[in-house]
Structure 1
């Protein structure tokens, strides 16, 4: 097995060949073998597949143009878009990971405009991980929400800045006249970074559409923009007008109804576009990835995530 990856690379396996050609005795001027390694980081199953049999870059590029043309139509043929996106998956991953990994999100979404459609974000996540994004996320979140809320309330009963922030969230939650599943999901997700002692001030933004003509998102790399029609009465909007996903200062999706929907689509876009998690919310997204979605990258959980997971499972 010592030279197994070398044989895979020579046979044309793109996922291995993408890291070949590094510095060696025969190529002393090449980059370091430990530099810019491109490999799955978040339990991706189909990270960098080969082109389908009988297809090459030029033929798949023609199909990509067809996708852009179909998406631009008012009456979109979603079945055709799905079929074309499935066929061009290998080309898309090659462009995102190998050819130009530093390409801006805006340029990527211009080339692959179908990734602005919610159904295609979920389909792309399934192509990468073989997991149904929507059903898995909601099922696991709903399973853990009662215990999460109980753990949050225990923390809120203590003293300190974290407890005070949690009390502020639950004071708004407890004032709701009718608490449905979407409100419970919102409370569970909105309080998660607070409980994990992470700074979410830059991630969550609010846009008062009646008083402000444009949102303040120019400096926002990854975040969620809550749109309200009046002054927010609390730091949590359980019934916003809309929620938008912002990537590199550009609104990607802007017609989401609840916070859980926004987290769902954001996770799908991060996988589809190979975007790193925000550094200030790294624990929050690792919890969603590893505990909620069950996508284990075989790296140990940090102590704070492990403690939370044990609390959810009722372990000591």
Structure 2
């Protein structure tokens, strides 16, 4: 399914421009979320340690732009919500190739031999994986990749990853502003209507 088809299907069913809505609301909430994450990082415990590590990596970047702020929020959100994103946000070396066995949904950050923790903020490329197959390879920032995967989940009528339901529900309700207390509507074809 072509990228423009994914966004068109989302718009057809919800009358929402996914790309515009996602970035508008994500950018609007980013300063408050980063403050919330920084506050939590000052506490003690495993969640605080993980948030501290993300904040340290972000703070060490020489140039921080909007894409890096978005990546920080999308990486820190599941941590803050106490969800495990390790099977969803994965990194692999371009020389080795990924093992996609039992990978229902994932964003694979491709790195070269110079593997660093900062790869989420400036990756070589990111691959979108659905049901053990790479659907798209190429978006070079986490926010674009996440947005496109969200559209694919919707267009292909997939379930949110079980270990990230709170994160995706937050994106659905707060960032994409879809109706509260209602799950995503199932994608329907014209023959069903």
3-state secondary structure, aligned to 1:227: strand
- Which residue in the other structure is 1:31 paired with? none
Query: 125, 147, 154: which one pairs with 1:264?
Result: 147
Query: 80, 86, 100: which one pairs with 1:195?
Result: 80
CA distance in 2, matches of 1:160, 1:244: 32
Residue 291 and residue 135 in structure 1: after superposition, are their counterparts in 2 closer, same or farther (change >3 A)? same
TM norm structure 1? 0.56
Q: Which stretch has the larger CA shift, 272-281 or 200-209?
A: 200-209
- Which residue in the other structure is 2:190 paired with? none
In structure 1, stretches of 5+ residues that fail to align are 1-114, 301-316
- Paired residues in the alignment total 183
- Which residue in the other structure is 1:282 paired with? 165
Residue 196 and residue 236 in structure 1: after superposition, are their counterparts in 2 closer, same or farther (change >3 A)? farther
3-state secondary structure, aligned to 1:253: strand
CA distance in 2, matches of 1:299, 1:132: 19
Which aligned runs of 4 or more in structure 1 are off by greater than 4 angstroms? none
CA distance in 1, matches of 2:182, 2:137: 34
1:178-237 deviations in whole A, cap 9, x for unaligned? 111000000011100000000111111111013x0x211121111111001124221752
CA root-mean-square deviation: 1.4
3-state secondary structure, aligned to 1:191: helix
Q: Which has the higher contact order (CA 8 A, sep 6+)?
A: 2
3-state secondary structure, aligned to 2:109: strand
TM norm structure 2? 0.91
Query: 58, 63, 84: which one pairs with 1:173?
Result: 58
Q: Which stretch has the larger CA shift, 276-285 or 229-238?
A: 229-238
Query: 32, 35, 43: which one pairs with 1:150?
Result: 35
Pair 1:240 & 2:126 matched: no
- Which residue in the other structure is 1:219 paired with? 102
- Which residue in the other structure is 1:230 paired with? 113
2:67·2:141 contact (CA, 8 Å) conserved in 1? yes
